[in-house]
Structures are given as structure tokens and as C-alpha cells.
Chains A and B, each alone.
Chain A
């Protein structure tokens, strides 16, 4: 075990993957010698050469298209999109190409092994072009897998599982935690399976569900709730697509209440999908309406970020309201 922050854990995962498999290649804007604007690919070019870790021109659609082509040849490209806010020029390559490669060819070709890594989310005073959480757009696309880690240990295991996956994965990295989140991380290779949620804390009164950077927000909120005698069960969804319906159903069947928290705006956010499924599966067990604590339906603000975000106080209020309903 070693103490690492999330960037170090990601860098360590990429290093291990590249050492283990010569078909793993990392690229993106500023990813080469500089090691990425956040340094996630630091030293990888030095270690594995310019052919396997390199800068690309400033073209997200080019990066995504290039990655699709490489993966269809059988290699494992790990392509970085510098900010999730800038993934949209690549939307067609990801949604129409990456996601449908295997299906449309009848399994003649596939892009398994392809991972798009991209920093997402707020908390860095980034305004509306350096703070977005676009996971729901991609969750509406059959053929993709989507994972979001909450801490360095999760980041390493989920990223290694994404690179090993036979399906293409979008790996959203909570950039506000890149350096803020630290923890003990095994130095050896390990994977955390995709599509499996984790019950982080058991409780009996209400289920609180989140992913990525919102987990620590929810931890604060459930501590406040505990002080008032409310017992919360905390679930980290970890994978948005496919998402672990059974773990959430089991929890809500027990608690009868569900509060979902995400950074992205409320309308059309992934919480809506979860709420619809859970009300159907757990209807007779529900004691209160499923609550969503999300960003406002506005672009991500700058000066008024604190007011906008789905913070611990809003989450605490939703928990209390759910229990008192």
C-alpha cells in the first residue's frame, strides 16, 4: 500500500496497464511530455516512448475517431478529453461510432479496450465550461459503459477494469478530488468490476445514492442526519451504465426511502432514470417520494457556485424531509 492522491492513482493505473500490455496507448491534448494539464499521464512518455504516449492536435473529434480506429484494429487506446465540457465535438464519434461499432457490424468489429478519460464536475471555480457533468447524455446511448470513481482506490481499480473491458468505457474523473482526495492504494494491479455499486455504509431509515465527488458531500449530510438520530444507508453507484439496479432495489426495499444526489442539472439527469426504476421495483415498500438533490436547471455558474451546487445542507434537508414525510 502507498498513500496516493487520485491523480497519482490514475497515473499508477495507466503505468501498470502500459507495462502489462504493449497495446495500451495514451494520448490527448498535452498528454505527452507535459503529462496532461492535470498531470495524469506524467512520465508515461518518458517510460513508454512517444509512440505510446503522445500529444494530439486540438481536435476532440479527431482524438475520438483516432481512438475508434486504433481500438477496431485491436489496440487499447486510453484517450484523454481534457475537460468533459469539451467532449461534445467528439459526441458523434462516441455516440454513433464507439457505441455502435460491435452491434452494427454483427460483431465483425469492435472497439473493446477503448477508454475515454475525462475530468468532470465543479468545485474548481471553473464556471460553465470547466464544471459540467455530462454523464446523462452518454447514459442514453446503448453500447457505452460509464464509470465514475469517488477516491484514489476506486479510481485505480475502476480504470484498470475499464481498460480490460471488452466494451468501450467513458471514465469520468471528479477533477475537484484529483489532489484533494488521498488514501491508501495497493501498488499492485487490481480491478474493481464495472456495473457494481457499493454499499459504503449500512443504515435503516433512508438510502442515499450518489457517485463521484458527491459521495463526500453525502457523507457530510448523513453525519448531520445521524446527529438527529436518522440512520442512512449510503450507496456509491460507481457505474452509471450499466447501473446496479439490484443493489439499489435491495437497499430501498429495506429503508423505504431514497435520496439521489448528483452534480448535473435536475431535468434529464440520471437521477430521473434511477427514480423511475426504483418506484416501479419498490412501489409497495416506499414510505416517501424519491427525492432528487441536483444542480439547478441552469448552466453551471461561477460567482454563485455555492448556491447552485447539490451540497451537504440541501442533501441533509432532503433526508430529513424524506424521513418526516
Chain B
């Protein structure tokens, strides 16, 4: 007989609850603060080249974040979002993927983007919304995307990428591709309806998705204990009949190993996996936010000691894969390189007026052509009021 309720019925004859905290998921830790491996832990297999690429992606992002936040303070860009403290979570997970696995990110995953090969110039062009930006200057800073490197363009509404990742991965499966989709989101976004919709759809339709929750403690100012009541986010996987794993998000070896294992499982079974990275958003939510209004310096200092980059750096130094002096010099050089690229990108022209109507549809509809013609006539009449476009209209 089939089981119409899709629920296991094991009978009891005395009423009693199952506790809402019955399930506690352990956190995988491999790398200690001093760069050594925990007793009993085994470092994942990682070749020198990959390990250095991971390290350089993290340090690149650290310097980029520092430099671009300063650029925002100077009024050179309108907005910025750092990922301070979470570099290992996104770089470590991206490193465990195939280059053609789709990445659907939230907005704080520049580490994964850099690991995939997004160039310094591409970062800058997006941040300055100039005409070389792949997104044609349409979205606020940090809304990156690139088809070539399988990185879906970021969308501001929270959580919308979660059911989309289920659909994307389902399409990968239908086409017989040996690829998965990774979907990043925060513990705050996990409160959106799209989280439930997406995880349930992926589980029911057997879509190979790695749902990667970056639990960083805060959704803007709202702490996690005002966001949800359960044990983190990972425990929810069980409700969807899905596997889960929780890792220390500042431990790049743990993140790498967990993601690699999840990827293999998802590909093999076409089942989604929920990963939860426990880390701390050391920076503000964005350049428009000031955490001093909602959390203490002491709390921040406590977490600052848990730096994902220094931990991995110590491990690399101990292995003899990294030279201390050369690395410091390289970071100094990177600072100069980033500043040079910034100066170039801020001088590149903004997109032309035709991009006001392009890509709304595959081809502009007649009404849009009419509106553009009307606008151009208006700009020609008042060229000084529209300096970005008036000098270069066809």
C-alpha cells in the first residue's frame, strides 16, 4: 500500500512532543587559528596551485574591499559592500566546484567571483557603471554577473535566486550535464518565502543544487536570534528531506572539503544539499550602514581574531608554499594596481543613450523606439542638462 501522507507512522500511545531543538548539527573544523590541523582532522587534498589561487583570491578581495570602501567614502562610487570575515566561505566553496557549475550569489560573494576569474578591470567597470560594464551600467555597485564564467548576475531582492537555482539545476540535469548549481544566501534571506519554495522544489524535483547559507550573524542590524528560533539554518534541511552540513566559515579547508563532498553527492544522486557556514560579518552591511548602532566593539574584536585569511596564510607558510616577504610585497603591489585600475575605470564613459532602452526586450518594441526618439529631441534642446549623453548622440 502506498503511503498517502508521505510520512513515517511509528505509533505511540502516550502524548508527547518532539522538541524543537531535538536536532543539533555539529560544525566541521579542520584548520586551527595557528594554522595547524585539529587533532584527528585530515586536511583535504589540495595541490599547491589551487591552494595559492584560493589564498590570492582571498587577499585580492580583502584589499579590493578596503580600497573600494575608501573610494565610496571619497564619493567616487555611490555604494559598496564588503565581505570582511567571510572570504573563506565563498572562496573555499567556489574552489571546490567545476568551472562550469553555475554560481547564483546574493551580493557578498565577490570571493567566489574572483576565484572564477573576474578581472580587476571587470570589477572596476561594474563598480563605476561605465560603458565597459557587462551589465551596461544598470545596477548599483557589486551587482556583478558574467555568462562566460557561469556567474549569474546579482539581483537585489533577497532570496529570489533560491528557487531559480532549483530550476537552473533541474535544467542542467535534464540536459545531462555533469554540473551543479551553487546558491549563496544569508541567514536573513532564509526567512523569505523563496527559501522555502526553492528548497522544497529542489528536493521534490531532485535538482543538484548546493544551497550555501552564509550565516554571518546579522541581517543589516537584525541579529540572528531575532531572525529565527531554530538551531541555525542547516537543521531546516531535514524538514525538506535533504542532507545538511555545517562548517566554520572562517576555515577554508573545512569549507572546501564540505563543498567538495556536497558537490559529489549532488551530482551522483541529483539531490540538493544545504550547507551552512558559520562566520561573522566583520564589516558593516553596506557603505550605508553603521554597525556601532547595534553591536559592541568587544563583540567585533572577539571575531576579528577569527580571521580566515591569516589562518590559511599560516598553513601555507608552514607548508612552505608561501614566502612571507614576497607575499607582503605582492599585497603592496596589489594596492597600487587596484588604485591604478580605479583611476582608469572612473574615466571611462557611461553607456550611450541607446542602452536606456536596449535589453528590456530582445528587440526594442515600437513604443520604446518612439520614447527614445522623443527623449533625444528633448536632450538636443537642453544639452547642458544632460552632459553624459548630449555630446555623443547619433
Query: Which A residues have a C-beta under 8 Å from some C-beta of B?
Result: 25, 51-52, 54, 56-57, 59, 61-75, 77, 89, 92-93, 96-97, 100, 102-110, 112, 142-143, 145, 166-167, 195, 242, 245-246
The verdict on B138 contacting chain A, using a C-beta distance below 8 Å, is: yes
Check A73/B359 contact, CB under 8 A, given A104-B135, A106-B136, A242-B365: no
Contact status A70-B157, CB under 8 Å: no
Contact status B168-A103, CB under 8 Å: no
| B32 nearest CB across to chain A (Å) | 39
The verdict on B160 contacting chain A, using a C-beta distance below 8 Å, is: yes
Can you list 8 A-B contacts (CB < 8 A)? A54-B205, A57-B201, A65-B166, A68-B163, A69-B163, A70-B168, A107-B358, A167-B361
Complex Cα spacing A75 to B176, Å: 13
8 Å CB interface, B70-95 against A: none
Contact status A195-B365, CB under 8 Å: yes
Contact status B359-A72, CB under 8 Å: no
The verdict on B348 contacting chain A, using a C-beta distance below 8 Å, is: no
The verdict on B155 contacting chain A, using a C-beta distance below 8 Å, is: yes
Query: Given the complex, which residues of A lie within 8 Å of B170, measured CB to CB?
Result: 66, 69-70
Chain A interface: which of B142-150, B228-236, B253-261? B142-150
Contact status A65-B366, CB under 8 Å: no
Query: Given the complex, which residues of A lie within 8 Å of B139, measured CB to CB?
Result: 104
Interface hub of B152, B359, B363 (most chain A Cβ within 10 A): B359
Of the residues A59, A77, A112, contact of B167 by C-beta under 8 Å: A77
Contact status B157-A97, CB under 8 Å: yes
Chain A interface: which of B192-200, B293-301, B305-313? B192-200
The verdict on B171 contacting chain A, using a C-beta distance below 8 Å, is: yes
Contact status B362-A167, CB under 8 Å: yes
Complex Cα spacing A178 to B133, Å: 48
Of the residues A54, A72, A89, contact of B152 by C-beta under 8 Å: A72
Which A-chain residue is minimally distant from B174 (CB atoms)? A51
1/0 contact trace for B332-375 toward A, CB 8 Å? 00000000000000000000000000111111011100000000
20 extra A-B contacts, CB within 8 A, seeds A25-B174, A102-B362: A54-B205, A62-B163, A62-B196, A62-B200, A65-B163, A69-B167, A70-B171, A73-B102, A73-B167, A92-B157, A93-B194, A103-B138, A104-B155, A105-B152, A106-B133, A106-B135, A106-B136, A107-B358, A108-B145, A166-B363
Query: Given the complex, which residues of A lie within 8 Å of B181, measured CB to CB?
Result: 69
The verdict on B216 contacting chain A, using a C-beta distance below 8 Å, is: no
Contact status A166-B360, CB under 8 Å: no
Check A74/B200 contact, CB under 8 A, given A69-B165, A106-B138, A142-B360: no
Interface hub of A56, A72, A102, A167 (most chain B Cβ within 10 A): A72
The verdict on B153 contacting chain A, using a C-beta distance below 8 Å, is: yes
Query: Which B residues have a C-beta under 8 Å from some C-beta of A?
Result: 102, 104, 133-136, 138-139, 143, 145-147, 152-153, 155, 157, 160, 162-172, 174-175, 181, 193-194, 196-198, 200-201, 204-205, 358-363, 365-367
Complex Cα spacing A77 to B153, Å: 20
Complex Cα spacing A225 to B138, Å: 52
Check A65/B359 contact, CB under 8 A, given A25-B174, A97-B157, A105-B153: no
Query: Given the complex, which residues of B lie within 8 Å of A77, measured CB to CB?
Result: 167
Contact status A112-B135, CB under 8 Å: no
Query: Given the complex, which residues of B lie within 8 Å of A25, measured CB to CB?
Result: 174
Query: Given the complex, which residues of B lie within 8 Å of A105, measured CB to CB?
Result: 134-135, 145, 147, 152-153, 359
Query: Given the complex, which residues of A lie within 8 Å of B198, measured CB to CB?
Result: 62, 65-66
Interface hub of B134, B139, B166, B361 (most chain A Cβ within 10 A): B361
Query: Given the complex, which residues of A lie within 8 Å of B169, measured CB to CB?
Result: 69
Check A108/B135 contact, CB under 8 A, given A96-B157, A102-B362: yes
Query: Given the complex, which residues of A lie within 8 Å of B153, measured CB to CB?
Result: 104-106, 108-109
Interface hub of B102, B104, B167 (most chain A Cβ within 10 A): B167
Check A108/B167 contact, CB under 8 A, given A96-B157, A166-B362: no
Check A65/B197 contact, CB under 8 A, given A75-B171, A143-B360, A242-B366: yes
Contact status B146-A108, CB under 8 Å: yes
Query: Given the complex, which residues of B lie within 8 Å of A142, measured CB to CB?
Result: 360
| B349 nearest CB across to chain A (Å) | 15
Complex Cα spacing A118 to B3, Å: 32
Complex Cα spacing A102 to B172, Å: 20
Contact status B194-A61, CB under 8 Å: yes
Query: Given the complex, which residues of B lie within 8 Å of A107, measured CB to CB?
Result: 136, 358-359
Complex Cα spacing A57 to B203, Å: 10
Which A-chain residue is minimally distant from B181 (CB atoms)? A69
| B192 nearest CB across to chain A (Å) | 9
Of the residues B133, B164, B358, B361, contact of A68 by C-beta under 8 Å: B164
Of the residues B171, B205, B367, contact of A245 by C-beta under 8 Å: B367
Query: Given the complex, which residues of B lie within 8 Å of A51, measured CB to CB?
Result: 174
| B362 nearest CB across to chain A (Å) | 4
Complex Cα spacing A104 to B135, Å: 6
Query: Given the complex, which residues of B lie within 8 Å of A72, measured CB to CB?
Result: 152, 164, 167-168
Query: Given the complex, which residues of A lie within 8 Å of B359, measured CB to CB?
Result: 102-103, 105-107
Contact status B152-A62, CB under 8 Å: no
Q: Give the top 4 A-B pairs by smallest Cβ distance, nearest first.
A: A65-B163, A69-B167, A62-B197, A69-B164
Complex Cα spacing A60 to B135, Å: 29
Complex Cα spacing A68 to B160, Å: 10
Interface hub of B152, B197, B362, B367 (most chain A Cβ within 10 A): B197
Contact status B167-A93, CB under 8 Å: no
Query: Given the complex, which residues of A lie within 8 Å of B163, measured CB to CB?
Result: 61-62, 64-66, 68-69, 93
Complex Cα spacing A69 to B361, Å: 18
| B14 nearest CB across to chain A (Å) | 33
